[in-house]
Amino acid sequence: MHSILQRGNAILAYTLSVLACLTFVCFASTVLLNYRTHADLNTVKVVVKNVPDYSASREKNDLGFLTFDLHTDLSHLFNWNLFLYLTAEYETANNKLNQVVLWDKIILRGENAVLDFKNMNTKYYFWDDGNGLKGNNNITLTLSWNIIPNAGLLPNIFAHGSHSFQFPVDYTTSRMVRLN
């Protein structure tokens, strides 16, 4: 006859292999999906200041402020959790590539995934690593997302459509600019 140990072992092994199979099917059923879609981006208000960055080097760095419009419909493309982020990408004399995340949002499954923001403030400060924002005429805003599946790969995907803008050639000195 089979002992309790053998029975327990069999049950545990069977449960684990069924779970592993299910997880694999879960992964396989989503691995080939196309997660790209369009996003409309626009900047509304853009100013740049030159102020000491107390969070880093304490030197005077360029600090950009902007508000943006964002319209996109992500509801048809995801069934998992999404991590959305808006990146500003640009080139300066100091650095060949700068990427700064200005805003992000977590969308859980079941939540509203049709986004329509008007005149949104950024979530993070747009600090440059030096003084490369003033008069910079090619800053590209892109929306991307990182898909967090039940199990499987963690792809980072760019939206179709980006928006390029330039910063003014003069620093703003007024204290009226706020970032909420």
Q: Which chain residues interact with another protein by CB under 8 A?
A: 3-5, 23, 55-57, 81, 83, 85, 87, 94-101, 104, 106, 108, 124, 127, 129, 144, 146, 148-154, 156
DSSP annotation string for 31-87: TT-----BEEEEEEEEEEEEEE-TTTT-SEEEEEEEEEEEEEE-TTT-SSEEEEEEE
Least Å from the CB of residue 13 to another protein: 13
Nearer to another protein, 75 or 95 (CB): 95
What span, in angstroms and rounded, lies between the C-alpha atoms of 110 and 116? 17
Token code pair at residue 119? 């005149």
Residue pair 135/166 in contact (Cβ under 8 Å)? The answer is yes
Nearer to another protein, 96 or 175 (CB): 96
Least Å from the CB of residue 97 to another protein: 4
Nearer to another protein, 6 or 137 (CB): 6
Calculate ∠ Cα 175-102-153, nearest 5°. Answer: 170
Least Å from the CB of residue 17 to another protein: 14
Nearer to another protein, 117 or 127 (CB): 127
